Amino acid sequence: MLWGQVEERSIDLANQRQVGQVREFLAPFSLSFDGLVDYTVGFYRDGKLVATGSRKGEVLRNIAVDESLQGEGLTASVVSHLMKQASRQGLHHYFLFTKPSTAAQFTALGFKEIARSEPHAVLLETGMGSVASYCKDLANKAAILPKGNRAALVVNCNPFTLGHKAVIAKAAAENDAVIVFVVSEEGSLFPFSVRYRLVQEGVREYKNVLVLPGGPYIISAATFPAYFTRGDAAVAAQTRLDVTVFAHHIAPALGVTRRYVGTEPYCAVTDAYNLAMMDILPEYGVELREMPRVMTGDKVISASTVRELIKKDDWENLRELVPETTYQYLISEEAAEVIRRVKGSASRH
């Protein structure tokens, strides 16, 4: 369709020439384009790309307009196009990353700011649902917990190990109530449904612990995309955004005053995340308690070690690193496809 003298076209993500045009257009805006998106639109004038935007799930990204056409309403047209396309796919809530210098363009379009990490990035949202309604729902679910000091943990558990359990046990012993958020994003070898269930089963003995899905506001593709990709250049900004969302919105809604983590000697992204928490959480009255990695013999217990032992079919040593509930799942027929995926993968998650 034509918009003035500008033509809208869906980008064929399998067409290297079209993808190359988008990548080249975005480069001067310091935006990279990996092509790992669900949809991309291009706006062309006289055959030349003058604006573009992409969508991955609920996240609108890589929105840019030729400098000579800024102020002509093209940004609104790109955003409107992406939202309409997402709506046809059944999505009615949208996140958007942008630089602090351009955030006002999107708040003028109805987006609300969730968090920012100066001078790098701002996270905004619009549509059906909000961080406020998410926090209200969490508070209702957490109402069953005992009164008093509340702590929180955020875990991926790919899969759930005795190391994870040790940190949760420490939190349960030192607080009246503990909320464990399991990362919901499907970016790991073990699917969320399995990870969530194994955590629930593994901590069932602790009556003051509640396990909840992390949802879209905790280490998700919206708040923390670098956790699931190789693009580590933006890790510092994105870790700080995610921690700020937790500290500013989630912790006060739940009455959480402590957050527990294990030390991270292996994963640079997780280590950066821990550093961001050390810096930001105290500003919001949340204490960070970091627990050294649990050892068994001379082995550090970690999910990555468990996955390596799966690849080696070393079930004897693996059994020393996981709760019995995790082990029974791993040797079950139900886990066969996940085991096959682990053995064939070089993924860090």
Tens-digit pLDDT profile for residues 232-243: 556 777 888 899
Rg (CA), the chain: 22
Percent of the chain with pLDDT over 90: 75
- Give the separation between CA 9 and CA 11, rounded to whole angstroms: 6
- Give the separation between CA 322 and CA 197, rounded to whole angstroms: 14
Q: Which two tokens stand for residue 67?
A: 């400098």
Domain ranges of the chain: 2-129, 132-343
What confidence score (pLDDT) does residue 85 get? 97
On the question of a cis peptide bond just before residue 119, with omega within 30 degrees of 0, the verdict is yes
What is the band of 212 on the pLDDT scale with cuts at 50, 70, 90? Answer: very high
In tens, the pLDDT along 187-203 reads 899 999 999 999 999 99
Q: Is the pLDDT of residue 230 over 60?
A: no
User: Three-state SS across the chain?
Assistant: CEECCEEEEECCCCCHHHHHHHHHHHHHHCCCCCCCCCEEEEEEECCEEEEEEEEECCEEEEEEECHHHCCCCHHHHHHHHHHHHHHHCCCCEEEEEECHHHHHHHHCCCCEEEEEECCCEEEEEEECCCHHHHHHHHHHHHCCCCCCCEEEEEECCCCCCHHHHHHHHHHHHHCCEEEEEECCCCCCCCCHHHHHHHHHHHCCCCCCEEEEECHHHCCCCCCCHHHHCCCHHHHHHHHHHHHHHHHHHHHHHHCEEEEEEECCCCCHHHHHHHHHHHHHHHHHCCEEEEECCCEECCEECCHHHHHHHHHCCCHHHHHCCCCHHHHHHHCCHHHHHHHHHHHCCCCCC
What confidence score (pLDDT) does residue 266 get? 62
How would you list the strands of the sheet with 256-262, edge to edge? 209-213, 177-182, 150-155, 256-262, 287-291
On the question of a cis peptide bond just before residue 225, with omega within 30 degrees of 0, the verdict is no
- Give the separation between CA 224 and CA 233, rounded to whole angstroms: 12
**CATH no. for 2-129:** 3.40.630.30
Phi, psi of 51 (to 5 degrees): -165, 150
Average pLDDT, the chain: 91
Q: Which two tokens stand for residue 60?
A: 């609108």
What confidence score (pLDDT) does residue 2 get? 42
Domain 132-343 annotated CATH 3.40.50.880 = no
User: Which residues are paired to 300 by β-bridges?
Assistant: 295
What confidence score (pLDDT) does residue 265 get? 62
What confidence score (pLDDT) does residue 318 get? 96
What is the band of 147 on the pLDDT scale with cuts at 50, 70, 90? Answer: very high
Instruction: Say if residues 43 and 50 touch (Cβ distance below 8 Å).
Output: yes
Q: What's the rounded mean pLDDT across residues 318-323?
A: 96
Q: What's the rounded mean pLDDT across residues 299-327?
A: 94
Q: Is the pLDDT of residue 118 over 50?
A: yes
Q: Which residue in the block uniquely carries the two structure tokens 């290297």?
A: 16
What confidence score (pLDDT) does residue 197 get? 98
Neighbours of 251 (CB within 10 A): 21
pTM: 0.90
